[in-house]
Amino acid sequence: MAFSFDPTDWPIVPARTFSELQLGEIFRAPSRTLTDAHASAFQAVSCDNHPIHYDVGYAKRYGHPAPVVHGLQVLAFTAPGATLLPHNFGAIFVAFTELSVKFLAEVHAGDTLYPALEIVDLLPMDEKGQVTTAVTVHNQRGELVLSGQHKYLLRTMS
């Protein structure tokens, strides 16, 4: 009997409906230790060439122990695709609609970051639903370096 491969039948986790999602579910991303190479790559992509991000002397003159990792780079660690959350949404996903964030502590090369997204609100809206997640990033010392929210729009009816 020949095996027939179908790439559309290769989910990482089973897709769920809006009604199957639950408040309090947490979706963690793998921890990552930032290096100078990560900061350089982000600097090249973002075009943010402020010396606070790469010049040790400049950073120290302004009271920082080392160059500060770009805040938007830390925010990028909360990308839902770094977790299994969008795989749980599957085909009901419509859009990533909103985010808010607070940067609470500096991040430097050598820090290890631990991102997580927790479902904190499920708002049905006719044939769609809004999922709100609290997003957090902690460092290796257990310090909360970023907190905020993401909102996603999902189909509730097929």
* pLDDT digit string (tens) for the chain, length 158 residues: 678 899 888 889 999 999 999 999 999 999 999 999 999 999 999 999 999 999 999 999 999 999 999 999 999 999 999 999 999 999 999 999 999 999 999 999 999 999 999 999 999 998 999 999 999 999 999 999 999 999 999 999 76
Domains plus CATH for the chain?
A: 19-155 (3.10.129.10)
The alpha-helical segments, DSSP class H, found in the chain are 36-46, 56-61, 71-76, 85-89
The pLDDT of residue 158: 60
Alpha carbon distance 97, 24 (integer Å): 20
- The predicted model scores a pTM of 0.91
Task: Quote the tokens at residue 146.
Answer: 């970023």
Pairing assessment for the beta strands 93-103 and 128-139 based on DSSP bridges:
unpaired
